[in-house]
Amino acid sequence: MKTPIVQFGTSRFLQAHADLFISEALAVGQAVGLITVVQTTGAAERSARLPALADPNGFPVRIRGLVDGVPQDSEVRVRSVVRALSTAANWDSVVRVCVEEAEILISNTGDAGYQIPADDLSNVPSKSFPGKLLLLLRARFEAGGRALTILPCELVPRNGEVLSRLMAELARARYPADTGFHNWLSNAIVWANSLVDRIVSEPIEPAGAIAEPYALWAIEAQPGLAVPCRHPAVKVVADLTPYEKLKLHILNLGHTVLADIWLAEQRDAGETVRELLTDARIRGILLSIYEEEVIPAFARMGLGTEAKNYVAETLERFDNPFLNHRLSDIAGNHAEKIRRRIGGLRAWSGATSTPQLSAIEQRNGQ
């Protein structure tokens, strides 16, 4: 069975996001086809997940949360994945699928997904995801070079453009004289910028996940773009910037503010976002930052109404009575998150009156 969608990454996020959307779209004839999932690391615990992902009976995704203040708790079976491979154990099969079947490649390889070891260009397959992707695209080029859409879902601003530049650099390093290949990467591949937004708080073993009702996959339009499905959560938009800024500087910024309080006050190691916000003092701090510093910054950029509405949605998501979103999971790479989420808000909007956010930066040496 052919799979026009190839997905790099086996995370619970993708299971409750792209895999779920495509499964629901397939049921009503609104998806381009089925999925081959590819594990790009050699992690043993993730290898054990592969058979369950491709189970013909599907895997469960449980949707739990508030919708307009009303609790929702339901379960769906995801049946869009029909093949699951590993680059460590099934490299030849991965090459064949990417050359012969793929029309759309999706990736979500984590925060370090674009990092490349110094010796990566000498390995087959390469150690890094970009190195592996380069070899797969090279094989496709040598087999005739059919066009392809690549949809990165990593949480990197303008992720398609970033990945395109990275792949061009790798191609010049590994195949320095092959200008035909370099031109093909630039002209035959659609490198899509996309933004994903859904809190997926817990796995269901061996495959499956628990997620909130809110979901968004925003994809920036461009000539030649192919999208994997039509679905209410999938939006093809003229400009991704407003969606990126709302998520980064409201939802993600709110998480960082709460993580900073949790760290500074040395609170319980297992405390969740929901539990933290039952403290009226802490909830008041977050609301004050949103109302006095964040929404005015968005208003400077002509997005005041959008920001106000997104804050309301975000607070409902934080109050989800079912999701156990632990502060310990959010607090990793804290300094970098402050730089991008708080410092980035001021740099983008030009806002200068942000005393509460500035205090967080100063407390963390920024």
What is the per-residue pLDDT across 338-350, written as a single tens digit (0 to 9) for each?
999 999 999 999 9
**Number of domains observed in the structure of the chain:** 2
Same domain, 190 and 313: no
Strand segments (E) across the chain: 5-8, 35-39, 59-67, 70-78, 81-86, 104-107, 148-152, 189-191, 194-197, 200-203, 209-211, 216-220, 234-237
User: Is the domain of 93 the same as that of 187?
Assistant: yes
**Is 269 found in the same domain as 234?**
no
At 120 the pLDDT is: 67
Question: What is the spatial distance between Cα 66 and Cα 212, in angstroms, rounded to a whole number?
Answer: 8
Dmax of the chain from CA atoms? 63
Q: For residues 155 and 256, state if they share a domain.
A: no
CA atoms of 162 and 32, how far apart (whole Å): 26
Backbone phi, psi, residue 60, to 5°: -85, 140
* Residue found by looking up tokens 């990593």 in the block: 154
Among residues 193, 216, 239, the one where a domain terminates is 239
Q: What is the mean pLDDT of residues 131-159?
A: 94
pTM above the 0.85 mark?
yes
Average of per-residue pLDDT across 215-219: 97
- Residues 211, 322: Cα–Cα separation, whole Å: 9
Task: Among 239, 257, 279, give the residue marking a domain's end.
Answer: 239
> Whole domain around residue 315: which residue ranges?
242-363
Determine the average pLDDT of the residues in 92-121: 85
* Interval 226-237: pLDDT, tens: 999 999 999 999
pLDDT tens digits along 120-141: 666 677 788 999 999 999 999 9
Quick one: 231 and 257 in the same domain?
Answer: no
Q: What is the CATH number of the domain that holds 136?
A: 3.40.50.720
Please tell me the predicted confidence (pLDDT) of residue 352.
Answer: 86
CA distances from 10 to 17, 102, 106, 258, 291 (A): 11, 17, 11, 28, 38
The verdict on 129 and 227 lying in the same domain is yes
281 and 196 belong to one structural domain: no
Q: What mean pLDDT do residues 127-156 have?
A: 94
CATH number assigned to the domain comprising residue 279 = 1.10.1040.10
Over residues 164-202, the pLDDT tens digits come to: 999 999 999 999 999 999 999 999 999 999 999 998 988
Q: Tell me: pLDDT of 111 over 70.
A: no
Euclidean distance between CA atoms 143 and 181, whole angstroms:
12
The half-sphere exposure of 242 on its side-chain side, counting CA atoms within 13 A, is 15
Judge if 125 and 256 occupy the same domain.
Answer: no
**Which of 239, 255, 274 is where one domain is finished?**
239
75-99 as b/e: b if 16+ CB within 10 A: ebebbbbbbbbbbeebbeebbebbb
Q: Regarding predicted confidence, which is higher, 110 or 41?
A: 41
**How do residues 263-315 score in pLDDT, each as one tens digit?**
999 999 999 999 999 999 999 999 999 999 999 999 999 999 999 999 999 99
Q: Looking at the structure, tell me whether residues 150 and 257 fall in a common domain.
A: no
Tell me, what's the pLDDT at 94? 97
- Contact (CB, 8 A) for 298 and 307: yes
247 and 322 fall within a common domain: yes
Q: What pLDDT does 128 receive?
A: 86
Considering the domain architecture, whether residues 275 and 231 belong to the same structural domain is answered as no
* Tens-place pLDDT, residues 20-77: 999 999 999 999 999 999 998 866 667 679 999 999 999 999 999 999 889 999 999 9
104 touches 149 (CB < 8 A)? yes
* Preceding amide of 355 cis, omega within 30: no
Residues 15 and 163 in one domain: yes
Residue 99 contacts residue 139 (beta carbons within 8 Å) = yes
**Residue-level pLDDT at 43:** 66
Strand ordering across the sheet containing 35-39: 81-86, 35-39, 5-8, 104-107, 148-152, 189-191
